[in-house]
Structure 1
Amino acid sequence: MRAVRAVSQDYDEPLSGLRLEDVPEPIPPAGWTMVRVAAAALNPHDVWTLRGVGHPAERIPITLGCDAAGWDEAGNPVVIYPTLGDPDAGFGDITFDPARGLLSETVDGTLAEKVAVPRGHLAPKPEFLSFEEAAALPVTFGTAYRMLFTRGRLVPGQRVLVQGAAGGVSSAAILLARAAGAEVYATSRTEAGRAFAASLGAIALETGARLPELVDLVIETVGEATWAHSLRVLRRGGAVVIAGATSGAMPSADLARVFFNQLSVVGSTGCTFDEFTRMLRFVTTHGIRPPVAEVIGIDEAPRGFSRLIEGGVMGKIVVRIAS
């Protein structure tokens, strides 16, 4: 079967280690099952694997891809929950398992004609979504859902700021928060990013801009470049939920503002399977379609990754693998 593989790692030239290869079909171990992949989305995570960041060299070669939708062994349309781990090791929450990981970290990922996954990691595909749209959901929408509703405890009528609006998690957070009845502000350093945020229903502002009013919750994935702004725009008792730091992870803590205004700084990683299925129901109930920037064939995967590395992609790049 055809697969998109990382065969070597190079920080400066990540695409030098990308290959399209014919590999044997996976043999699912006990408790696992096979999924025939219809579509799989590209993620920055795949690029970090190719760069050798957070992915040990001894796990190379490996098939890339965390997100996918396809058909289970009975032919049912499904979406794959992407996190592997032991919920019991995390006290019932797989995201707290110190050994957790995504598909493509310890086992072959989804950018292939078939992928083996645990039986309990399949959820029915929302009927109103195409396979390409459904493949854009797992990592970004699952992460955003947990940030907003589990860790951020968002309720209708609250005000939310989403930093770095053009990112995958950020754009998902805008759509989910808007559907939940929140007023959403979003920042981007580019005019194109602000236009994209506005198209999703946010009030779009330049990065660091003064907001018309303080917010209850900030969704933060940018880190150092936006951290001071994130704390400054929170109302007293508000919270910032952080799930990434693409611009740097060591900003000034501004502890005086944190304790004086009684702010909460909350970390968040991925989502549980229960949150994943609730996210899918929420998306279905509200008719949310994830933004897809481009659908490409598997032979075009190198070009898709090149676009991802260049930046400026609004929405997900999705690889159509079967139909």
Structure 2
Amino acid sequence: MRAAFASRIDDADPLSALTVGERPEPEPAGDDWVTVEVRASSLNHHDLWSLRGVGLTEKQLPMILGCDAAGVAPDGREVVVYPVVPTPSDPRGVTILSEHHQGTLAERVAVPAANLIAKPAALSFADVACLPTAWLTAYRMLTSRGRVAETDAVLVQGAGGGVATAAVVLAVAMGKRVYATSRDPGKRERIAALGATALEPGARLPERVGVVIETVGAATFDHSLKCAGFGARIVVSGATAGHLPQVNLRRVFAMSLEILGTSMGTPDELSALLEFLASTGVRPVVDSVFGFSEVDAAFAKLASGTVFGKIILDHTR
């Protein structure tokens, strides 16, 4: 079957480590595993990190990339693939597809049957292929971790990337006042069109917020602390601009702040996210759609840093 996979590790030039070609059919890892015919998938920065060797070693190669997918189960059901797989050999007890088990950027992928979640009829394969990593992370950041129901105002740092853009859309749909920062004037315009107040990084907000969505790291963390109201939650799921910020601990204890880490979400949270989109009419922000035959161009776009929203691969093309 055709697949996009890491054939080697190259930290300096990750795109050169990407190979598109034939791979063996997926092998179920247990009796409770099934094989899904993939109709659509989406790219994540995790795929680029894998090509750089983060979370992936030479002995694991070749590894089919991709965490997100939607397709058709053996019984004909249209499904979304939940990408977190129990992995006893990993210290975390779990891994996501493309770390220990082959990923989703292929014609077919093998996963535990329990990882299949029904696709709502109102959502397309392309819509739901955006959700299992970035959108699920954003949903969990706002709901279970951020307890967004307890506040009226949210700050999203570094909007434009997959998680941050998803957080903007979801928080607006939840009826919150949303402030979002970006260094890029063009992205600020697009953020404003999504219903948020778009600001330059470090700008003064008209109010303190109850939840901060933090995926940037050191470059924005002090601003996140200053914008957080009493008892606010700063929810962290990334550190694209530095993972060792200076933290003013006096502000943390004086303002009773919570700094919470998170990644991905649970199957129940993915089901709730699907229900939320189906009932509200909210749809993922899509930067571009590529046919599977254009996977090299899709990865180049992801690596360019110009992406706003998700990059989708249509496996039927």
TM-score of the superposed pair, with normalisation by structure 1: 0.94
Distance in 2 between residues matched to 1:27 and 1:11, nearest whole Å: 29
Following superposition, the deviation at residue 111 of structure 1 comes to 0.5
- Contact 1:159/1:215, CA 8 A, preserved across alignment: yes
Shift of 1:311: 0.6
Q: Match of 1:265, as an amino acid?
A: I
The equivalent residue for 1:321 is 315
Calculate percent identity across the aligned residue pairs: 47
Q: Which residue of 1 aligns with 2:12?
A: 12
Separation in 2, partners of 1:269, 1:26: 26
Distance 2:287 2:180 in 1: 19
Cα displacement (A) at 1:257: 0.7
* Matched letter for residue 264 of structure 1: E
1:271-308 residue CA offsets vs partner (Å, 9 max, x unmatched) = 01111111111111111110111111112111111111
- Size of the alignment, in residue pairs? 315
**C-alpha distance in 1, partners of 2:209/2:97?**
35
In the alignment, which residue of structure 1 is the partner of 2:119?
Answer: 125
Q: Which residue identity does 1:102 align to in structure 2?
A: I
**Secondary structure, in 3 states, of the residue corresponding to 1:45?**
helix
Q: Quick one: distance in 2 between partners of 1:97 and 1:158?
A: 38
Deviation track 1:20-69 (CA, whole Å, cap 9, x = no partner) reads 11122113231100100001101110000111122222111110110011
| Equivalent-residue separation in structure 2 for 1:25 and 1:11 (angstroms) | 28
Give the letter aligned to residue 199 of structure 1.
A
- For residue 97 of structure 1, report the CA deviation from its aligned partner: 7.3
> Does 2:213 match 1:219?
yes
Q: Distance in 1 between matches of 2:86 and 2:183?
A: 36
> Of residues 147, 157, 166 in structure 2, which corresponds to 1:153?
147
Q: Provide the C-alpha distance between the structure 2 equivalents of 1:157 and 1:257, rounded to a whole number of angstroms.
A: 20
CA positional deviation for 1:156: 6.6
Q: Does 1:78 align with 2:72?
A: no
Whichever residue aligns with residue 176 of structure 1, its letter is: L
**Which of 296, 300, 306 pairs up with 1:302?**
296
Contact 1:175 1:200 in 2 (8 A): yes
| C-alpha separation in 1, matches of 2:56 and 2:128 | 26
CA contact (8 A) 2:132 2:264 kept: no
Give the 4+ runs in structure 1 shifted more than 3 A.
Answer: none
Q: Which amino acid aligns with 2:156?
A: V
Q: Deviations over 1:247-278 (max 9, x none)?
A: 01111111011111111111111101111111
CA shift, 1:99, in A, is: 2.8
Say if 1:157 and 1:181, in contact at 8 Å, map to a contact too: no
1:266 aligned residue: 260
Q: Does 1:67 align with 2:61?
A: no
Tell me if 1:174 matches 2:168. Answer: yes
1:185 aligns with 2:179: yes
Q: What is the identity, as a one-letter code, of the residue corresponding to 1:10?
A: D
Partner amino acid, structure 1, of 2:225? L
Q: Is the 8 A contact 1:85 1:97 kept in 2?
A: no
TM-aligned CA deviation for residue 107 of structure 1: 0.8
* 2:179 alignment partner AA: Y
- Report the TM-score, using the length of structure 2 for normalisation: 0.96
**Among 189, 208, 219, which residue is 2:202 paired with?**
208
Quick check: 1:171–1:200 contact (8 Å CA) kept in 2?
Answer: no
**Is the alpha carbon distance of 1:157 and 1:262 closer, same or farther for their aligned partners in structure 2, counting shifts above 3 Å?**
closer
Residues 151 and 210 of structure 2 are in contact (CA less than 8 Å); yes or no, is this contact kept in structure 1?
Answer: no
Matching residue of 1:93: none
Matching residue of 1:237: 231
Instruction: Please provide the CA RMSD for this pair.
Output: 1.5
Gap runs ≥5 in structure 2: none
